[in-house]
Amino acid sequence: MVIKVTSLKTDNYDSDHRRLTTIQPKERTMRIPIIAGNWKLNNTVSESVSLTTALKPLVAGCTGVEIIVAPPFTALTSVSSAIADSNIQLAAQDVYSEDNGAFTGEVSAPMLKDVGCDYVIIGHSERRQYFGETNESVNQKVKAALAHGLKPIICVGEQLEERETGRTEAIIESHVTGGIAGLSATDLLSCVIAYEPVWAIGTGKTATPDQAQEVHNFIRGLLTSAYSAEVASQIRIQYGGSVKPENASELMAQPDVDGALVGGASLEAESFAEIVKFE
């Protein structure tokens, strides 16, 4: 069942982030916003616990939004303990497709579940770019995560050259359809899609709200064709790429933007908390 609610968002901002106009409340499907912080290759165990400890009180009163942190593997256990009594959930930054065996250096879905992970980021552009991740390996990892009760955050996104040569939709289609190949509708509903234009990650260049909305809407259309309008309307699609407290609100105001995958700004408790409180 799809429940319709009226969004209470009323503010719009210009490109300098000044309050510009008041927009009309809009109908949007009830999709719980989901804000995830990807810490990447940052933070020792003690630094991770300090960041978590600082974040907890700042977001303690936040309801109606899912809050996730994704520390490096080494800090997952400690952060899991630190968030035990909080509204913060835990994600890993990657997972291997096999459960166990002779795969030196890898970490499996049962292992992530064992340390308290709820989500796992799969197919981040940095893994595609530097570690040979492909649509096929993403798909295998997604299936392994789902088989063990982990919710995949599947990252998709075009590079600058691909956008400039008019191939954004083709790339997004291959990432989305490749990543979710063979999933039932029930499995798909456990997934989150993160649209992250590669040219916006860590560069300070955010996609405009219109650019983000255009691709998010395209992704929802792909899911409509592959499954149904009802299924597509329930899937959450995050935007990622230089999300900051200053631009989170206008991105989240887009009808098909349901959350943010945040890199740099998630490394400071205050800035991540401000993004969580985007409204």
Applying CB under 6 A, the residues found at the interface with ligand PEP are: 38, 40, 196, 201-202, 240-243, 261-265
CA-closest candidate to residue 123, choices 212, 234, 198: 198
Q: What is the CA radius of gyration of the chain?
A: 18
Q: Whole-number minimum distance, CB 271 to ligand PEP, in Å?
A: 10
State which residue, 240 or 259, has the beta carbon closest to ligand PEP: 240
State which residue, 193 or 232, has the beta carbon closest to ligand PEP: 193
Length of the chain, please? 279
Q: Which helix (H) or strand (E) holds 269?
A: helix 269-276
Specify the 3-state DSSP secondary structure of 261.
Answer: strand
Which residue among the candidates 126, 133, 196, 250 is catalytic per the annotation?
196
Quote the CA–CA distance of 134 and 155 in Å, as a whole number: 11
Q: Whole-number minimum distance, CB 87 to ligand PEP, in Å?
A: 22
Q: Whole-number minimum distance, CB 215 to ligand PEP, in Å?
A: 14
**9: its two tokens:** 């968002």
Q: Whole-number minimum distance, CB 267 to ligand PEP, in Å?
A: 9
Q: Whole-number minimum distance, CB 96 to ligand PEP, in Å?
A: 20
Number of C-alpha atoms within 13 angstroms, CB side, residue 94? 20
Encode burial over 219-248: b for 16+ CB neighbours within 10 A, e otherwise. bbebbeebbeeebbbbbbbbbbbbbbbebb
State which residue, 55 or 261, has the beta carbon closest to ligand PEP: 261
Q: Name the residue whose CB lies closest to ligand PEP.
A: 263
State which residue, 180 or 265, has the beta carbon closest to ligand PEP: 265
Tell me, yes or no, if 17 is annotated catalytic. no
Nearest 5°: CA angle at 247, between 212 and 251?
30
Angle, to 10 degrees, between the axis of helix 245-252 and the axis of helix 269-276?
20
State which residue, 196 or 274, has the beta carbon closest to ligand PEP: 196
Which residue among the candidates 66, 124, 133, 274 is catalytic per the annotation?
124
Tell me, yes or no, if 196 is annotated catalytic. yes
Name, in order, each residue with C-beta under 8 angstroms of 54's C-beta and a sequence gap of 6 or more: 269
CA-closest candidate to residue 153, choices 192, 180, 97: 192
- Name the residues annotated as catalytic: 124, 196
